[in-house]
Structure formats: C-alpha cells, structure tokens
Amino acid sequence: MKQVEVGIIMGSSSDAPIMRQAIEVLKRFDIGYEFSVVSAHRSPQRMFEYAAAAEGRGLKIIIAGAGGAAHLPGMVAAITTLPVIGVPIKSSNSLDGWDSLLSIVQMPGDIPVATVGVNGARNAGLLAVQILGTSNSELRQKLAALKKENNEKVAKQNETLDQFE
C-alpha cells in the first residue's frame, strides 16, 4: 500500500464531487491520499485533532475545500505547519463562490493558505504534486509530460481553427 502523503478534507460531503477532481490528479501521479469530511463549524474538535495529528501520520500537504464562510482551510493552517491548499467551493449557501474565495485568500499574516480558483480542486491536486515534486524527480518528469500533453492539445486545436473562418 502506498504511503498517504496528501490529506483531502472538506466541510461537507456535498463538496465531494468537486474535491474528487483532486483525487483524480493524485491517482494519475500515483500519490497516496486520504479523503474525509472535517467541518470547522460542525466538528471543530475533529478538525483540531485532524490538523494537529496530520504531520505525525505522514501527511505532507493538506487540501481543504470549503463553501460559504469557508473557515476550514485557514483554521487547519493555523494548527499545522504543513502546507495547506484551499479550494473555495461554490456551494448552495454561497454567494457565487465569492464569499468562499475571499474567506480563504484573505488570511491574516503568518497563516498562509495557497488558494486556487472557485471549484478548482484539480489545480489544488496539481499544486500538491508540484510541491511534492520539489523533492521527487519522478514526479517532476511526470509533470513535464503533462505540460507536453497540454502543449500538444493546443497545437491540435490550432489545426482545426480554419473550420471557424
């Protein structure tokens, strides 16, 4: 069984369809992860225990998704020394995701949270891979291959542009 290096947490199971995008990325890069609901508001003790024990369990990065007031990423970052990547979720109680985005990106000094775009769990997963890749040449090679694939996709799109003229 592969070592779990990334914790993916969210404030509610309703966030799971978005957060699964990060899982798809981690699977592609063969990175072990755990996935769970850890609510800053509904289960603050569970959140504290999760964040406090994360490094001891071998985690290297936490991806935290939250909608509405979106306190989860910042509160986890206040507790752990691990990098935290926040994913603002456009949820049923959010203001088009703006409240979540601003809650996560506007952290006070000394509590950094890397923040991706609203519903941007895929980019959160890729950012986690890039962070892990700083000390893993195999991951860097896989990331380079992804960049090459993206370049090839753009080239193919250019080949078909004449159909729009």
Q: Provide the greatest CA pair distance for the chain.
A: 60
The architecture of the domain spanning 4-134 is 3-Layer(aba) Sandwich (3.40)
CA atoms of 25 and 128, how far apart (whole Å): 9
SS (H, E, C) 90-105: CCCCCCCCHHHHHHHH
* Alpha-carbon gap, residue 145 to 48, rounded angstroms: 38
Structure tokens at 1: 């069984």
On whether 15 is known to bind a ligand per the annotation, the reply is yes
Tell whether 46 is in a known binding site: no
Q: Please give the share of the chain, as a percent, with pLDDT higher than 90.
A: 85
Confidence (pLDDT) at 1: 64
For the chain, the domains span 4-134, 137-165
Q: Is 57 among the annotated ligand-binding positions?
A: no
Q: What pLDDT does residue 3 have?
A: 93
Distance between alpha carbon 24 and the CA centroid of its chain, in Å?
A: 11
How many degrees, rounded to 5, is the angle at CA 51 between CA 47 and CA 52?
Answer: 115
pLDDT per residue over 86-117, tens digit each? 999 998 877 888 999 999 999 999 999 999 99
pTM to 2 decimals? 0.93
